[in-house]
Structure 1
Amino acid sequence: MQKVASKRWKLAEKIPPEIEQALSYYPAFFRQVLYNRGITSTEQAMAFLSPGEDFHDPMMLLNMAGVVERLLYAIDHHEPIAVYGDYDVDGVSATALLVETIQLLGGNVTAYIPNRFEEGYGLNIEALGHLREQGIRLVLTVDCGIRSLQEAEHARQIGLDLIISDHHHPLDEIPPANFVICPKQNGDEYPEKNLAGVGVAYKIAQALLRQRRKELPREGFGLDLVALGTVADVVPLTGENRLLVRAGLKELRRGGRTGLRSLAQAARLNLGALSTSDIGFGLAPRLNAAGRLESALASYQLLLERDIQQIGMLVQHLDDQNRERQKITTEMQKRAEELIQEEGFEEILFAFDESFNPGVVGLVAGKLTESYYRPAVVGHINGEYVRASCRSIPAFHITQALDACADLMVHHGGHALAAGFTIHRDRLAELKQRLAKIAFEQLGDLDLRPVLRADVEIPLGELHPEFLKYLYLLEPTGMDNPEVFFVSRNVRTSNARAIGADGKHLKFLVTDGWITYDAVAFRQGHWMEAGLPKEVDILYRFEMNTFNGRESLQLNVVDIKPAGGD
């Protein structure tokens, strides 16, 4: 199995003249950018670029009225409530948000986040029994539970009231909980189907606070947590999600949550200009590191802690764990690459090993998918069970593939591009064969090279600093609302040098003979060994680089091809 050597560039379809006329208020390049995002009129453009904060009514979610009534009854009668979350950033953020909200309303509430290594993902029967023994009367799940049929039945049998809130795809049967909140369940008419787990939690918080007409401690209460979890969980940043993250970024930039402010400093991020990219590559990995290596409780505590000394200790702990996680990921990726060569499957990659850290298998699967552009399944073998994580490519819906093999697995679930499962070890060989067959049927005839989509092809000399103010209007960018990518051809390169640890990255200058720009190409230091051509075509983002308090324009180059290449 060879790593991906080249990528295909796909330029957006040119804007039709009538739509270009309809968007004539905007510069030519930006008309094309808007058209690429499905915007065909000035009215649509204004609504997209200045959307406000007009969130949907939370009571539109199926069962919300019952959830609010049951939670307020528990709060008023001082019933012990447990918010049961997942150990990733989405789940931890959602847990913190609802604990904070219930405390604000005077409730008796505690958090429960399962240990990845001892309990695995989602609801488990032992934890529910433990909570019942501790005197908990009501469990409210966040970011998990929608497929927990047996666990919900067990809660009913032991007299534990259960409210499930989740955003994952349900099975045909809904768990027998007291109430289930999930925008993806049948009969739910809520307009935004792609809320993250923390987005669903925020809707519950909104409904509770609105019902009590409770004055918020601050205007953007909870929205910083919503932005954090929504971006980290890589759900589409369109519709209401985009509004929530946009508002949440404002709250994050204010720095009101001391733990996140300190974490941003440790990650060397400029909090006042925090972006979705900063969350995805700076904050989220550090918060996720705790749950991947030990317990997610440290991340949860950081989000709610107010004591400066305690916050400092937690941030240092998370930063240390993140460095350790990076080291483990590198070692596991090397071993996984050896295993996939031994397996020899063409359309899907498998790597299972007893030495693998179960908290990092998802990251390694992601690295394999990025390197080979194939769906990847990486798992930890532990006695009679295997726990695995999957990452995929747009042409292969990994959760649907797992659904077709559901009879082999103990648990499974996820999204189109990411999933996880638990299986008995003796069934693993059959699962691999069946998944490989499905992958061959769906991917066998495709050109399996990643496609890089570009918005606009433009001569370098026509790139203008004023473009940046229009690009900022598209934020927050993310899944289904991508950053803008340009293509410029036949540009000359000079002053190329490797930068970063082990020379992994590339820094150089590009010019058309009239204008010159700094360019950086991350993870493309290999061009120094191969020899960077004197004339190249580049696909890039246009951005403002801030370093040591100084700002300069630069091209963030995603891909380089020799001039005139395919």
Structure 2
Amino acid sequence: MRWTLQPKPETHKVEVLSKALDVSNLVATLLIQRGVETFEDAKKFFRPALEDLHNPFLMKDMDKAVTRIEAAIANDENILVYGDYDVDGTTSVALVSSYLKTYYPNVATYIPDRYDEGYGISYKGIDFAHDNDFSLIIALDCGVKAIDKVEYASEKGVDFIICDHHRPGAELPNAIAVLDPKREDCNYPYKELCGCGVGFKLIQALTEKRGGTIENLLLYLDLVATAIGADIVPITGENRVLAYYGLKVINSNPRTGFKSILKQIKKETLTITDVVFIIAPRINAAGRMKHGNHAVTLLTETDMNKAAVWAAEIETFNTDRREADKQITKEALKQILDNAEEDKKTTVVYNENWHKGVIGIVASRLTETYYRPTLVFTKSGDKLAASARSVKGFDVYNALEACSEYIEQFGGHKYAAGLTLHEKDFENFKTKFEEVVAKTIDPKLLTPEVKIDAEINLKDITPKFYRILKQLAPFGPENRTPVFMTQQLKDVGFGKCVGEDKSHLRLVVKQGNSNQFTCIGFGMGDKEPIACKGAPFKAAYVIDENEWNGTISLQLRLKDIKP
């Protein structure tokens, strides 16, 4: 791993902020690294306020969207709320449909079938709307590139409002309204909303138009926080406010569907990381293994007994997903070893029998293992479908765009994308993708990086310091959990490999005459010789809490160690 120590902010800036907030220079340094430079910035950062949310009507086309929905309600039209089958899509559909149903009954939901219809807006979904007398579709977390499909809907007398956050193509669909902060002609101040976040701005606008306030919408923020965590969008600005209040709802008054999921987990206070690893995979499992409708039903259910039945079913999907993911990852790793080629800058694997629902997870695992831009392909009908994942700092979306002559359809973000192509184009695409990445990637990006916020001594780690660190949460992209480095550490003699397969490393360390700290390094059993032979070493780590027999103590969760 490459260790990169973040540049130290100017001493003057650190001292001014330290004095203004009455915090240590170390805390002031961490804040400045996160863009917090003044007392006013710090107030907004530590105490996110609902009034810091932007006016939804600043988003291009918002007035058109609200006018069309109001007209639909006035004319007794049927409204179809349409969204993708992943966490962002299903939470968006649950959010907008349940909000509209509080004052208008003619609302239904539609999630495309991952296997039959694929990603985004489908012709089948439009036919469903037309055949069932829906004259307005509100599409969430998809649609910004669906030019032909929106045209097709228009010919059938079905209007579209698109709420998306993916990058648009050169042309926008001819919809009634296209809400997407990434539109070049959209001056909305915050560009990093997830799909559910854009959906939230829509219901915020509708609420304002009806004379309500943001407080009327607080209970919907558990869905928004879940989507923010799952979709890996930056937890800065508006997303930080939405995630902060959403976590409060999850921890104090979660919706029935969340309660039924959380009943199975013994954890009192959930962080955004818990939401990502506990709630999100279960919501995702429905669309991966069966159908995204199951997730929407669970998220909108208000009867606890019914929700318990749905949650149990989704738990089964999640177990099946884990088994499929484990097996496919094993097969993919074997395929890479069998076809090992020197100096490849990409990883591309394909098996027509792999489960389409888990190839995205497998792509993430392969990226972690080989640290290359990665594509995992499977057969989908008469075409091939793939999930793409990238390494930090490399835009895989741009790389796919450069290969578009061989791609039938693609969409996504800088670090994660999906695509389909014809089988006859697979080899040409694979060659071209390798060429594009090899030409454009900075070679150092192919070595995993640990970004270190500050070098500290063990004596700096106190309960008070940790209490302040916790207030930097919720953590996520662009506000990562602080990573520290400490030199001249020694294991006091209790270091050993632990876990069923001895793959984890547990140490008890001190630095000079400092207090001792327990360290845990998951998957770092191979580093045991560095730490346990008596020689000093340095460690990169995050500070967290360990609970054992009712006692809570601070521990160091290792990222890497070096001699």
Normalised-by-shorter TM-score class: over 0.9
Distance change in 2, residues 1:216/1:481 (3 Å):
closer
CA contact (8 A) 1:540 1:558 kept: yes
Task: Identify which range, 233-242 or 217-226, moves more after superposition.
Answer: 217-226
Matches within 5 A, 1:180-191: 180-191=178-189
Given the superposition, is the C-alpha separation of residues 96 and 283 from structure 1 closer, same or farther in structure 2, using an over 3 Å criterion? Answer: same
Matched ranges for 1:420-499 at <5 A: 420-443=418-441, 445-446=443-444, 448-493=446-491, 494-499=493-498
Secondary structure at the counterpart of residue 494 of structure 2: strand
Q: Give the direction of change, closer, same or farther, for the CA distance of 1:172–1:265 in structure 2 (3 Å limit).
A: same
- Alpha-carbon distance in 2 for matches of 1:9, 1:325: 34
Q: How does 1:89-128 map to 2 (within 5 A)?
A: 89-128=87-126
- 8 Å contact kept, 2:392–2:445: no
Q: Structure 2: 5+ residue runs without aligned partners?
A: none
Does 2:24 correspond to 1:30?
no
Give the counterpart of 1:194 among 181, 187, 192.
192
- The match for 2:346 is 348
Output the amino acid matched with 1:225: L
Taking the aligned partners of 2:305 and 2:114, their CA distance within structure 1 comes to: 28
Name the residue aligned to 1:3.
none
Matched AA of 1:19: K
Comparing 517-526 and 136-145, the one that deviates more: 517-526
Letter in 1 for 2:505: L
Q: 428-437 vs 8-17, which deviates more?
A: 8-17
Q: C-alpha distance in 1, partners of 2:502/2:224? A: 36
In the alignment, is the contact (CA less than 8 A) between 2:454 and 2:485 conserved in 1?
yes
CA RMSD of aligned residues (A): 2.0
Tell me how far apart the structure 2 counterparts of residues 355 and 211 of structure 1 sit (CA, whole Å): 50
Q: Give the structure 2 partner of residue 524 of structure 1.
A: 524
Aligned equivalents of 1:486 and 1:551: distance in 2?
A: 21
Question: 8, 21, 33: which is aligned to 1:14?
Answer: 8
2:307 pairs with 1:311: yes
CA distance in 1, matches of 2:71, 2:200: 19
Matched residues in 1 for 2:74 and 2:550: separation?
51
Q: Percent identity?
A: 33
Partner of 1:259: 257
Pick from 126, 143, 148 the counterpart of residue 145 of structure 1.
Answer: 143
Q: TM-score, normalised by structure 1?
A: 0.94
What is the rounded CA distance, in whole Å, between the counterparts of 1:372 and 1:174 in structure 2?
Answer: 37
Letter of the 1:495 partner, please give it.
F
Cα deviation, residue 131, structure 1: 1.8
2:422 is aligned with what amino acid? H
User: 1:470 deviation in Å?
Assistant: 1.4
User: What letter matches 1:59 in structure 2?
Assistant: F
SS at match of 1:23: helix
Moved more, 416-425 or 468-477: 468-477
CA distance in 1, matches of 2:203, 2:549: 40
Amino acid at match of 2:540: L
1:222, distance to aligned residue in structure 2 (A): 1.0
Shift in Å, 1:527: 4.0
Distance 2:185 2:380 in 1: 40
CA separation in 1, counterparts of 2:234 and 2:171?
26
Is the Cα–Cα contact under 8 Å of residues 78 and 107 in structure 1 kept in the other structure? no
Distance 1:109 1:383, change over 3 A: closer
Per-residue deviation at 1:213?
Answer: 2.0
Q: Which residue of 1 aligns with 2:408?
A: 410
Q: Give the direction of change, closer, same or farther, for the CA distance of 1:262–1:500 in structure 2 (3 Å limit).
A: farther
- Picking from 321, 328, 336, the partner of 2:317 is 321
The 1:165–1:289 alpha-carbon spacing in structure 2 relative to 1, beyond 3 Å, is same
Alignment of 1:393-408 (within 5 A): 393-408=391-406
In 1, Cα distance between equivalents of 2:164 and 2:537: 47
The count of aligned residue pairs is 554
Matched, 1:47 2:38: no
The normalised TM-score by structure 2 is 0.94
**Residue 490 of structure 2 contacts residue 531 of structure 2 at CA under 8 Å; is this kept in 1?**
no
For the 8 Å contact 1:499–1:506, the answer to whether it is kept is yes
Question: Where does 1:123-272 land on structure 2 (aligned, <5 Å)?
Answer: 123-214=121-212, 220-270=218-268
SS at match of 2:291: coil
Bigger shift: residues 305-314 or 417-426? 305-314
Q: Alpha-carbon deviations, 1:209-259, whole Å to 9, x = none?
A: 111124789661311111011111001111111111111111111133121
**Structure 1 unaligned runs (5+)?**
1-6
Check 1:151–1:495 CA distance in 2 against 1; reply closer, same or farther (3 A cut). Answer: same
